[in-house]
Amino acid sequence: MNKILVTGGLGFIGSHTVVELQNEGYEVVIIDDLSNSSEKVLDGITAITGEKPIFEKLDLKDKADVEAFFAKHNDVKGVIHFAASKAVGESVKEPLMYYENNIGSLIYILKELKKLSSAAFIFSSSCTVYGQADELPITENAPVKKAESPYGNTKQIGEEIIQETCKVVPTLKAIALRYFNPVGAHESVEIGELPIGVPQNLVPFITQTAIGLREELSVFGDDYPTPDGTCIRDYIHVVDLAKAHVVALGRLLKGENKTSYETFNLGTGKGSSVLEVVQSFERVSGKKLNYKIVGRREGDIISAYADTNKANNDLGWKTKLSLDDAMRSAWKWEQKVREKE
């Protein structure tokens, strides 16, 4: 059974990916520093799959700890690297913390993978690298634009570091997965999104407003050049996204990759406006959402949604779940989290 390391495996996308890896028969070891997650997520994963992953609390910025981990787990066949700080606004205020955490940890892991006889590496990247693309839908050939935040820059730099390393380390092959907007929760409601503090992202803010934790949702601007004036994004169900990671890993382990470094956009291919997301939530929950149109949010792009042809054709993967499925599961998860409080 192939052993796979999942860094940040107790996070939102990480935990859903661990479930899909275990469903596929992989042995999973998780590293997480618990800075933006909780060890209780392990129980959620185990409740779904019946198998508790190995977990090691570890700070990937600590070079000696990373070396010790790989000395102990020298049978790791692949790494899916989620661990990173990912709040756009925070990264503007704390650039050094973002570069040290996101780039430092990546370098230490790659240095360990160089020592293995072969290694498959999946990198958690983001459509943020495209900024406001000139053409929609966005293909993988769209130009990577100057990052609008240190967070986005760490994704761009991370991709470059991996690509250049794969060129000179013949035993290393990698895929960067550029996510659009991950939303929703596992149907079991054993795992889901656990934002700490006031949510920055749209969907957790919607569900926290509906459950009464927030007064009302502020819709950041309805004067954009879009059909209803609000921004458009490609909201992809986190379970579809998790499954794409398992497919990408399999591509590398089976040697089906065309080059040593590949990138794939992961989205539904469909854009939805902020108000369409609100309407989807109201439809599936039967609740009227309290929201107010306010001014634009600094740094928001107008519209982004994926061209999914490369992922569909080369990965043989496409999304199966809808925006309504995502909103339904996000709402069920929010209700479960609050009933536990």
Shortest gap between Cβ of 179 and ligand WQD (angstroms)?
6
Cβ closest to ligand WQD, residue 128 vs residue 268: 128
Written as six digits, the tokens of 268 are 């539904």
Q: Which is nearer to ligand WQD, 53 or 192 (CB)?
A: 192
**Strand locations in 9-104, DSSP E?**
27-32, 54-57, 76-81
151 catalytic per annotation: yes
Using the 8-state DSSP alphabet, how is residue 306 labeled?
Answer: B
Residue type, 326: A
Which has the closest alpha carbon to 328: 263, 269, 272, 284? 284
- Of 151, 179, 224, 261, catalytic: 151
End-to-end CA distance of the chain: 38
Q: How many CB atoms lie within 10 A of CB 315?
A: 20
User: 320: exposed, middle or buried (C-beta count within 10 Å: 0-12, 13-18, 19+)?
Assistant: exposed
The residue number whose beta carbon is nearest to ligand WQD equals 231
CB closer to ligand WQD out of 163 and 218: 218
Which residues of this protein are in contact with ligand WQD, per CB under 6 A? 86, 88, 126, 128, 179, 181, 200-202, 205, 217-220, 231, 233, 274, 297, 300
In the complex, least distance from residue 16 CB atom to ligand WQD, rounded to whole angstroms = 15
Length of the chain: 341
CB of 82 to ligand WQD, least distance (A): 10
Is 226 buried (19+), middle (13-18) or exposed (0-12) by CB count in 10 A?
Answer: middle
* Residue 126 Cβ vs ligand WQD, minimum distance, rounded to whole Å: 4
Closest to ligand WQD by CB, 195 vs 250, is 195
Query: Where do we find the tokens 């496409």?
Result: 318
Rank residues 53 and 150 by Cβ distance to ligand WQD and give the closer one: 150
Least Å from the CB of residue 329 to ligand WQD: 16
Within 10 angstroms of residue 160's Cβ, the number of other Cβ atoms is 12
Positions annotated as catalytic residues are: 151
